[in-house]
Amino acid sequence: MFLLRTVFAAVLCCLPALAQAPPPVLMISIDGLRPDAITQAEAHHLQVPNLRRFVEQGTYADGVIGVVPTLTYPSHTTLVTGVTPAVHGILSNTTFDPLFQNQVGWFWYASQQKAETLWQAARQRGITTANLNWPVTVDAPGIDFNMPEYWRASTPDDLLLLDALARPLGLQQQLEHELGPWVDGNTLTIASDATRTRFAKAMLRQHHPGFLTVHLSSLDEEEHTSSPFSAKSNETLEAIDGMIGQLVDAAVAINPKAIIVVVSDHGFARTDFHTNLFGPLLRAGLLTVGPPGPLGTPSFSSWKATLWPAGGCAAVMLHDPADTASRDAILGLLHDLAADPANGIDAILNKEQLGQLGGFPGAEALVVLRPPFQLGYTFSGPIVTPAPATGMHGYLPSNPEMRSSFFVLGKGIAPHRDLGLINMLQVAPSIAELLSAKLPAATAKPIKLLQEAAF
């Protein structure tokens, strides 16, 4: 009898914990999604009923003020850590490569970032975690089922490499056996996002993760090619809207308490010109051209001062931080160029200003362009060349066109709740709160998303 009472008491003690189990969270990134594409869909001639449902039945922000730079990899890492690039260490998309020797290597590896992530926080809470194609996730700690974003040659061999990088080993093969071939992270079409959606649905069905992240990337690619809100960009977003509907239905079918969060990393601006700043650096003797690299790509053999490109901006870097002559030369050159509005330079931020924004520690300055100009890479000829009807991001987060998205839908989420403008640093701690998890390094106040007594 004593044993029965003891067992019964133990079960009663466990019931509150069971009752308070957090809802599963599906976090989907639509790369390059401007919030007004959804909040003002009719004005942009968009038919996106599944995403409009987040506005009508869920909680959403008018815009998310991002980080410096407003690029995919720094922003995605902030979205899962709640800290700035200066803290987490993913400072741009591509690694600093002044001699162009790394074949345009990106920050793919989780070992390159220094902050605790939502996957780790969820795992500490005992939650099963999963990921499909989120940036900076190669060998990421805290992810139980991981298919990271990665590419190298963008040939079929990349799938062999991705198979080796998936965790647990054999995960990619197991899903491919049911669904057909996976795609590498640099295949950026509607069809590739449809594949990612199929794999995400299978991941939900087979492994029931309590926290799953998915990165869809075809919209960003089309916006770069034909500008935001072009006919092709709208067609791409409408196709993604159908995928969002599938993912919402799949998550809720498995667990009616599921919460779906749709985010994006940055907004987008139309561009019509390239501002080619490397040519002036060459002519000033700050760079020396080397022999052509792989496939004829340009390279440098030496450098004193150069730029670390980041789309609509570029960090000013010195080979020797004590080389005041080179620092004065590159900053003087850039300020001279900025004096002519035709060159498209909006601002040159100094070290202190850049430090306050949490971007590019170690840089001497940040040269920021203004739309419709984006950074170009022509080493000779005019400083400004045409690039009509294209698109870019990477500009300062104070630019309204750079605002990213935050939409939340699910049981217990307040309907038609407009948060106004929020900060990207708030996203990760808000998701952590949904998961009943903690991110101690995150400094921004979380947004309370669940209504009282939601469960």
13-22, 200-209, 443-452: least confident range: 13-22
What residue segments make up the domains of the chain, in order of their start? 22-268+399-434, 270-392
Distance, in Å, from the CA atom of 383 to the CA atom of 177, rounded to the nearest integer, reads 51
Residues 6+ apart with CB under 8 A from 177: none
Preceding omega of 309 cis (within 30 degrees of 0): no
* CA 258 to chain CA mean position, Å: 23
Q: What's the one-letter identity of residue 405?
A: S
Span 125-136, mean pLDDT?
Answer: 98
pLDDT of residue 359: 97
pLDDT at 18 over 70: no
pLDDT at 345 over 50: yes
Interstrand relation of 373-376 and 145-147 (parallel, antiparallel or unpaired): unpaired
Edge-to-edge strands of the sheet including 269-276?
373-376, 269-276, 384-392
Span 382-403, mean pLDDT?
Answer: 97
Calculate the average pLDDT of the chain. Answer: 94
Distance, in Å, from the CA atom of 68 to the CA atom of 130, rounded to the nearest integer, reads 27
pLDDT at 295 over 70: no
Residue among 238, 267, 248, 241 at smallest CA distance from 406 = 267
Span 164-180, mean pLDDT?
Answer: 97
pLDDT at 279 over 50: yes
In terms of pLDDT, which residue wins out, 217 or 452?
217
Percent of the chain whose pLDDT exceeds 70: 94
pLDDT of residue 453: 52
Distance, in Å, from the CA atom of 85 to the CA atom of 72, rounded to the nearest integer, reads 12
Distance, in Å, from the CA atom of 162 to the CA atom of 140, rounded to the nearest integer, reads 14
Confidence band for 1, pLDDT divided at 50, 70 and 90 = very low
Confidence band for 2, pLDDT divided at 50, 70 and 90 = very low
Output DSSP code: residue 32. Answer: T
Output DSSP code: residue 167. Answer: B
Helix residue spans in 181-260 (DSSP H): 190-207, 218-226, 231-254
Residue among 297, 310, 304, 312 at smallest CA distance from 282 = 304
pLDDT at 189 over 70: yes
Domain 22-268+399-434's class?
Answer: alpha beta
Specify the fold of 270-392.
Gyrase A; domain 2 (3.30.1360)
